[in-house]
Amino acid sequence: MTQSITKSTVNIPPLENGDRLTRLEFETRYQQMTHVKKAELIEGIVYMGSPLRINKHGNPHGRIMTWLGTYEAYTNGVQIGDNCTVRLDPENEPQPDALLRIEKDGQSIITEDGYVEGAPELIVEIAASTVSIDLHDKLKAYRRNQVQEYLVWRVDDNEIDWFRLKEEKYIKLQADENGIIKSEIYQGLWLDTNALLNGNLARVLECLKQGIETSEHMKFDKKISIDD
């Protein structure tokens, strides 16, 4: 008499807010949850997204992507990302609202399975206020992994914090006399913060155009071009 043998299926538990996991465990569970729109692993803890309001997140996010997308359009060798997973280290796999990376000889790579691995040079997060994880555990993880610049838009506070990594610390970049903050990594990436906060996207792009037309941007564009 023969005995039939059936394969046992592995039961993978779903992700839950607050789970403490390794990055491998996190990815395995995340990939099984097709209904989950956004989940992140920050310092070994799972954070799952909630529904997003247009004025609190959707519209600010759209303005940031328009700004970064315009910069990408006029700068060879850079790549923007919108809510894409980043494999930072064994305990951190965030899904930042926006990122800007240098494609050739930058800090990050694209893996064979299509993920960003390593630290993009610039990460942007849309946060509620100073109490947000974006200005605490995420900031620590990004700093430790050498994200060179980190921009946080605190929507409820109507403030923008743009940090630059210097000597293992994040130092806030200061606006000039015209209210413009200029990236120290991406030459020509200028931001009129008041215009952005007031919803004047035309002025934001006008300011960016001025940065893109500088000789510094031209030199940077030539230096990182992937066509060289």
* Residues 128-181: tens digit of each pLDDT: 877 788 899 999 999 999 999 999 999 999 999 999 999 999 999 999 999 999
CA 70 to chain centre: 16
* Span 199-211, average pLDDT: 98
DSSP state of 14: P
Q: What CATH number is given for 52-224 in this structure?
A: 3.90.1570.10
Both structure tokens of 95: 């899904």
- For the chain, the structural domain boundaries read 52-224
Alpha-carbon torsion (121, 203, 64, 174), positive or negative:
positive
Rounded to whole angstroms, the Cα distance separating 76 from 221 reads 6
State how far the Cα of 95 lies from the Cα of 118, in Å rounded to an integer.
13
pLDDT 10s digits, 48-67: 877 788 999 999 999 999 99
pTM: 0.89
Strands, DSSP E only, in the chain?
39-42, 45-48, 78-82, 86-87, 98-102, 108-110, 116-118, 122-127, 149-154, 159-166, 169-172, 180-182, 190-192
